[in-house]
Structure 1
Amino acid sequence: MTAPSTAPAPPSPARKGSRWIEEWDPENEAFWNEKGEKVARRNLFFSVLSEHIGFSIWTMWSVLVLFMGPEYGLTPADKFLLTSMVTLVGAVVRVPYTFAVALFGGRNWTIISAGLLLIPSVAAFAVMKPGTSFDTFLLVGLIAGIGGGNFASSMTNINAFFPLRKKGWALGLNAGGGNIGVPVIQLIALAVIGASGGPRVLLGIYIPLIVLAATLAALYMDNLATLKNDTGAAMDSAKDAHTWIMSFLYVGTFGSFIGYSFAFGQVLTNQFGRTPLQAAYLTFIGPLLGSLIRPVGGWLADRYGGAKITLYNYVGMGAATAVLVYASMQKSLPLFVAAFVVLFVLSGLGNGSTYKMIPGIFQAKAVARGLEGEEAAAYGRRLSGASMGLIGAVGALGGVGINLAFRQSFLSYGSGTGAFVAFLAFYAACFVVTWAVYLRRPVGRVTASSSASEAKPQLSYAEV
């Protein structure tokens, strides 16, 4: 397996063309101000559009299950299993999607990955009717999981376009624009249900949007010839403990966001007896606010340090989850919805801060190794780009865990309370890991000679 890197590479004859950029140096301020920023922002905009549609198709089954009444013959456990498997595929395909950017080019892969979304959309259009077997729904749902891969390829591509000082903002905006595909499809579903339309109407709306996203990517995006797959970077990032630590923390933020996005409507219908229309009125609010605030999380991380923002964010997520446990036990729908929306907002904020930490951590490791200037920047880009796909994939697996936890909680207790207790314990663990690894100062006596080598990396990690 190979990993993306932005190390200079000799131009290949197969890569010549107006859509291939042969030289790209965003850390050079003169280059950035003269032409780099304009090109990067253009690619960011159309990357967001494609990723947005990908998120919508990935999470469309969180909406489609609301249409599936008793006539479909599915139990609540069946529906949670269905959405769990869709989430699982979306997590797994993030790994190959990360490496496809360097193999095909960012623009070219955006066109391909957008076009692939037609497959699950047309398939769902064909089978969405009573009498279809659960196995068929499961198979079509698994195909829809490819929409989750668009995030990884988009983030890898945009990470290469922007300088380190702008990555928090750019990655936050890119991810937030993609994440907002979740509430948008839920809002469109609300309109469709309110107008007494069926699930095929919803799918009919998205099929032309997929074609539009692929077309605009072809017209306005670029490929970076300097972005190539680096086998060594993939191996180095997989061996680095920080890749797995950040994967764990990303499970707590993005895993929560995508898992709750799939499960929220089902919890409302199963635990609080809401109708599909009543649930649809509420489900979009949390994902919408969580998506919109993700760039703010990246901006705060740029300004104050991602580790600090992430730490405080887990405190908030734990508090909101504790309120959810209470609201669930008291069967208080208003308090439950309010706390769930707060949890969505905090998960979005944490998405931005944790993802900003990744390039900062590897930049800090470069400095600790004695590297400086462009050499340090290149080292950081190389390992952060390689690790992002893996971290994104593992993080998305948190969504699988959330839906399986809800499934088991409803089977065992008839409510989601047991699942929320488990989530509370997990957020506490995330808090401890963030503090212990990235913010805790060395304790005990250190000699003057050792303090320079030990304290500096610790301090730089606190600032990532």
Structure 2
Amino acid sequence: MTADAGKATGSPAVALEHHAGAMLTMATVGFAVTFWAWALLSPLGAALTERLGLSSFEQSLVVAVPVIVGSLGRIPVGALTDRLGARRMFPVVALLTVLPVLYLGHVADSLAEFVIGGFFLGLGGTTFAIGVPFVNSWYPPERRGFAIGIFGAGMGGTAISSFTTVQLSKANGFAFPFDLVAVVLVVYAAVAYLTLRDRDDRKVPAGSMLSRLAATLRMPVTLQMSFLYAVAFGGFVAFSVYLPTYLVNAFGLERSDAAVRTAGFVVLAVIMRPVGGWLSDRVDPAKILIVAYTVTTALAAIVAFEPPLVPVGTACFLAMAACLGAGMGAVFALVARLVPADRVGAVTGVVGAAGGLGGFFPPLVMGAVYSATGGYLVGFLLLAATAAGAAVFTWGVAAKRGRTAAE
């Protein structure tokens, strides 16, 4: 009888854990699908250059515009998620992203039109700010680092794009990958609407979106985490967007070969994100960040001098992918420790926006540096200096905040 009573007592907890796992799965799939859409233009950068006669800077602009819009859009989307919940927000954002996807595949045919389409395509990048507060609400504090890391692995949608977009476009015509993504988005929106559920005890914040945003920006932790995520996620986005172009220009690779190598970089970063979250549940996440940024500093300095791609360059890029991935997981493990539950969406929106903005400028800088100097030395040295600054900042500020929160 005691065993039966134990089972009866434990069954609600087991059911809740099972439901949390289902919600995490659906959120991660939604994040991956919308990120797949968000990253459609990057692998086609070289093809668009030939098709439209773009300069290096113009090519960088086309692939970077979705990044900045997807980044800034996370601020209102995160605040709306706190108010409306993920069950409404995920399907709506997925369906709205279909429009620019189809526009880019069938209508756009000039630099201005691709920039306009890319602007609205950025909406697909905002779902990060929907998923983090949603996943946070379903998991206890001691498991949030790993759970958010698993959700963050949905950024592997960029790897799907890197692996498939060029090949599908060559085999079936330019519009085919856009049509495929549009169909997947519609299917996901329907399934998400039927299956996603917000927690019944979810806290809905009071006040207007603008007042809550102002209060969020006044929190010191918001700006501190924004800087750290701008370096980690920004570095990842910058490489996932610009690495194909870099490999073609610096080493003369074929576009398809460069896209596949970039996908390998993305996949490793995606794998390491939940690992960084898992480690942060067991170790002070600030320590994970310090190690990640310090190693990135050294690797960026090595790559700046263009060592042979095989094996040195490849090893450096893959190690940077691992460090940036682990760093992304660690940042949001730290956010989960420091931010009240009813403000996680708003803080995530701002921090996520900072991360995306961190990925917007490096491709433009790399394009400008290459146009001016014919090489990438200055660009990688700037990355090394930024990562070093993040390591010092984490050691001096974020680590102290993390210890205070733990106490």
| Superposition TM-score, scaled by structure 1 size | 0.80
Residue 459 (1) aligns with residue 403 (2) = yes
Q: How much does 1:120 deviate?
A: 1.4
**CA offsets, 1:208-231, max 9 Å, x none?**
111111111022111345331344
Matches within 5 A, 1:152-231: 152-176=129-153, 178-192=154-168, 196-225=171-200, 226-231=202-207
Structure 1 runs not aligned, ≥5 long: 1-28, 363-379, 441-456
**What amino acid is aligned across from residue 96 of structure 1 in structure 2?**
P
The answer to which of 387-396 and 29-38 deviates more is 29-38
**CA offsets, 1:295-341, max 9 Å, x none?**
11000000111111111111111121122112x2x564643233122
Residue 432 (1) aligns with residue 392 (2) = yes
Q: Contact 1:406 / 1:419 at 8 angstroms: preserved in 2?
A: yes
Residue 113 (1) aligns with residue 113 (2) = no
Q: Contact 1:99 / 1:229 at 8 angstroms: preserved in 2?
A: no
Aligned residue number for residue 316 of structure 1: 295
Residue 77 (1) aligns with residue 64 (2) = no
Residue 270 (1) aligns with residue 246 (2) = no
Matches within 5 A, 1:319-398: 319-326=298-305, 328=306, 330=307, 332=309, 334-362=311-339, 380-398=340-358
Aligned residue number for residue 422 of structure 1: 382
Q: Give the whole-Å Cα distance in 2 for the aligned partners of 1:30 and 1:238.
A: 41
Q: Give the whole-Å Cα distance in 2 for the aligned partners of 1:394 and 1:68.
A: 28
For residue 144 of structure 1, give the secondary structure of its aligned residue in structure 2: helix
Q: Contact 2:149 / 2:277 at 8 angstroms: preserved in 1?
A: yes
Q: How much does 1:152 deviate?
A: 0.9
**What amino acid is aligned across from residue 428 of structure 1 in structure 2?**
A
Q: Give the whole-Å Cα distance in 1 for the aligned partners of 2:96 and 2:223.
A: 30
Q: Percent identical across equivalent pairs?
A: 25
Q: Give the whole-Å Cα distance in 2 for the aligned partners of 1:291 and 1:388.
A: 19
Q: How much does 1:70 deviate?
A: 2.2
Structure 2 runs not aligned, ≥5 long: 1-8
Q: Contact 1:236 / 1:383 at 8 angstroms: preserved in 2?
A: no
For residue 227 of structure 1, give the secondary structure of its aligned residue in structure 2: coil
Aligned residue number for residue 39 of structure 1: 19
Residue 287 (1) aligns with residue 287 (2) = no
| Superposition TM-score, scaled by structure 2 size | 0.91
Q: How much does 1:32 deviate?
A: 6.9
For residue 68 of structure 1, give the secondary structure of its aligned residue in structure 2: helix
Change (3 A) 1:180 1:332: closer
Q: Contact 1:105 / 1:224 at 8 angstroms: preserved in 2?
A: no
**CA offsets, 1:244-290, max 9 Å, x none?**
11100101111111111111111112222222122123111000110
Change (3 A) 1:34 1:276: closer
Q: Contact 1:233 / 1:382 at 8 angstroms: preserved in 2?
A: no
**CA offsets, 1:334-375, max 9 Å, x none?**
43233122212211111001110012134xxxxxxxxxxxxx
Q: Contact 1:190 / 1:281 at 8 angstroms: preserved in 2?
A: no
Aligned residue number for residue 7 of structure 1: none
Aligned residue number for residue 5 of structure 2: none
Change (3 A) 1:262 1:309: same
**What amino acid is aligned across from residue 299 of structure 1 in structure 2?**
W
Larger fraction in helix: 2
Matches within 5 A, 1:2-17: none
Q: Based on CA coordinates, which of the two structures has the bigger radius of gyration?
A: 1
User: Number of residues paired by the alignment?
Assistant: 395
